[in-house]
Amino acid sequence: MSIPLAERIRPKSLDEIVGQSHLMGEGKPLRRIIESGTIPNLIFYGPSGVGKTTIARFIAENANMTMYKLNGTSASVADIKQIIAETEMIGGMNGILLYLDEIQYLNKKQQQSLLEYIENGKITLISSTTENPYFYVYNAIISRSTVFEFKPVTPEQISPAIKRAFDLMAQDIGTEVMLEEGVVEHIARGCGGDVRKSINTVELCVLSAENGAKGELLVKMDTVRELTQRSNMRYDREGDEHYDILSALQKSIRGSDENAAIHYAARLIEAGDIISLCRRLLVIASEDVGLAYPMAVVITKSCVDSALQLGLPEARIPLAEAVIMLATSPKSNSAYMAMNNALEDVKNNGPLDFPRHLQNKHFDGADAKVRGQHYLYPHDYPDHWVKQQYLPDALKDRVYYEYGENKTEQAAKAYWAKVKGDKNG
């Protein structure tokens, strides 16, 4: 009983893994990689308790590799070098897999120390993070790795694992465990898509169960509700991201429902997770309000800065201001869509040449077809505008930005229609 239940109930085969069917289902990419036995460097991104460590272990066992595990919160360069030294020993004959949990806590120098060894193949790196790796993981490591995003597990997917956990607990203590109706479903719903947290809750429920008349243990709903609630609060305060709540918050603000938006913000604040709330509000200000009310970005940034300086409980006040302001503001995603359209062209066309008059050089080679820069300085012309080509020749008529149907953008549209129309006329 000294080994945690969540550890003892880990799946014994790929088919027993709970959730992640988009990665681990038949024919899905990560499953094919595992079954191939040839393992590249990988980054697992997603919330805690959804199977990242379990799958890393499966990979190591299936490839017959020696697995070492480090945690970014405590690992040092010396720890990494010690593992590298093992590659020269007999244990490294079949390859060494380093599972680096919470890689986002390693600084740049620590992450750089891995590069030489993952490039020469001495180690295979599987790192995991609960934060977006494109913000927190060194670019050189990302470029040498494949990123897989793990999702929170649904209550329907967690329920079978909870039942297995209750059965295993009953076997361990040699006593029948009786569950009131709805116990399994309540635990599955109440642990935020975290399988490990659900199994830990099962263990707590059995340890605190009441004795029945025939020597059995009774797990009652009142006990489950209390333990699940406490478990959930610990889960939230540890900083794990609640993707569903953040999604609901953004969609409520996008839909201009200030009451729903405040509700979801309050859930994050009650959990102490103001960092995720602040980040999402900054995204919303540009993605969903955008040019319909450009000052929304400035106000939101000011509220976020105030919240982070104040800390809880006072942080709730400027955050409430930002949430309600964003929800009740006019909406436009025109800038967001313009950037997406432009990025699509850049990906499809690569680095196209741009007009000679925009280049930052003032000398032409002997083979230049057009000599001289011929740039027209807009400030020398009425209304500070003059017609000239700015886009590359292949895209010269491309339109990325469409004015939104709101007062601010329509006023800008009318202004430039007058200025450009007059000059073109």
The CATH number given to whatever domain includes residue 128 is 3.40.50.300
Rounded to 10 degrees, the C-alpha dihedral 93/99/100/102 comes to 180
For residues 34 and 108, state if they share a domain.
yes
Nearest to 128 by CA among 171, 73, 181, 174: 73
The pLDDT value given to residue 232: 52
User: Do 266 and 206 share a structural domain?
Assistant: no
Phi/psi of residue 157, each to 5°? Answer: -75, -30
Pair 117, 179 in one domain:
no
Same domain, 83 and 133: yes
- Domain contains 397: no
Q: How many Cβ atoms are within 10 Å of 273's Cβ, its own excluded?
A: 20
Domain count, the chain: 3
383 occurs within a structural domain: no
Distance separating alpha carbons of residues 182 and 221, to the nearest angstrom: 7
The one-letter amino acid at 358: L
What was the pLDDT predicted at 366? 54
Q: Do 203 and 251 lie in a common domain? A: no
Q: Are 302 and 189 contained in the same domain? A: no
Return the residue matching tokens 């193949």.
121
Per the domain annotation, does 69 fall within a domain?
yes
| pLDDT number for residue 10 | 73
Cα–Cα separations (whole angstroms), residue 22 to 29, 58, 125, 151? 8, 17, 22, 9
What are the backbone angles phi and psi of residue 210, rounded to the nearest 5°? -85, 150
Strands 123-129 and 96-101: parallel
Please state, in angstroms and rounded to a whole number, the distance separating the CA atoms of residues 351 and 288. Answer: 29
Kindly report the backbone phi and psi dihedral angles of residue 125, in degrees, each rounded to the nearest multiple of 5, phi listed first: -100, 125
Distances in Å between the Cα of 145 and the Cα atoms of 96, 106, 134, 142, 372 are: 16, 17, 12, 5, 46
- Tell which of 134, 149, 164 closes a domain: 149
Assign residue 194 the CATH number of its domain: 1.10.8.60
pLDDT digits (tens, 9 = 90+) for 106-159: 888 888 888 878 887 778 889 888 888 887 888 888 888 889 888 878 888 888
**Is 188 contained in some domain?**
yes
Is 300 contained in some domain? Answer: yes
CA distance 79 to 84: 9
Q: Which residue has the tokens 């180690």?
A: 123
Check whether residue 145 and residue 164 sit in a common domain.
Answer: no
Whether residues 125 and 67 share a domain: the answer is yes
Q: Which residue has the tokens 């006329």?
A: 425
Whether 71 and 143 map to the same domain: the answer is yes
Tell me, yes or no, whether 183 lies in a domain: yes
Is 135 in contact with 51 (CB distance < 8 Å)?
A: no
pLDDT of residue 215: 79
Domain end marker among 237, 263, 294: 237
For residue 377, what are the contacts with CB-CB under 8 A and spacing of at least 6?
none
Domain of 86, in residue numbers: 20-149
| CA 6 – CA 403 distance, rounded (Å) | 54
Considering the domain architecture, whether residues 192 and 126 belong to the same structural domain is answered as no
Question: Residues, the chain, total?
Answer: 425
Looking at the domain assignment, is residue 417 inside a domain?
no
In terms of Cβ atoms closer than 10 Å to its own Cβ (0-12, 13-18, 19+), residue 21 is middle
Question: CA torsion 335→341→343→345, rounded to 10°?
Answer: -150
Are 222 and 269 within one domain? no
* Strand ranges of the sheet holding 210-211, from the earlier edge strand across to the other edge: 177-179, 217-219, 210-211
Q: Chain centroid to CA 247: how far? A: 12
The domain spanning residue 275 has which CATH number? 1.20.272.10
Q: What are phi and psi of 350, to 5 degrees?
A: 70, -165
166 & 139 share domain: no
Per residue, what are the HEC states of the chain?
Answer: CCCCHHHHCCCCCHHHCCCCHHHHCCCCHHHHHHHHCCCCCEEEECCCCCCHHHHHHHHHHHCCCEEEEEECCCCCHHHHHHHHHHHHCHHHCCCEEEEEECHHHCCHHHHHCCHHHHHCCCEEEEEEECCCHHHHCCHHHHHCCEEEECCCCCHHHHHHHHHHHHHHHHHHHCCCEEECCCHHHHHHHHCCCCHHHHHHHHHHHHHCCEECCCCCEEECHHHHHHHHHHHHHHHHHCCCCCHHHHHHHHHHHHCCCHHHHHHHHHHHHHCCCHHHHHHHHHHHHHHHHHHHCCHHHHHHHHHHHHHHHHCCCCCHHHHHHHHHHHHHCCCCCHHHHHHHHHHHHHHHHCCCCCCHHHCCCCCCCCCCCCCCCCCCCHHHCHHHCCCCCCCCHHHCCCCCCCCCCCHHHHHHHHHHHHHHHHHHC
Q: Is 10 part of a structural domain of the chain?
A: no
| Residue ranges of the chain whose pLDDT lies below 50 | 1, 230-231, 233-241
Q: Final residue of a domain: which of 149, 172, 205? A: 149
Candidates 150, 147, 149, 151; CA nearest to 40 is: 147
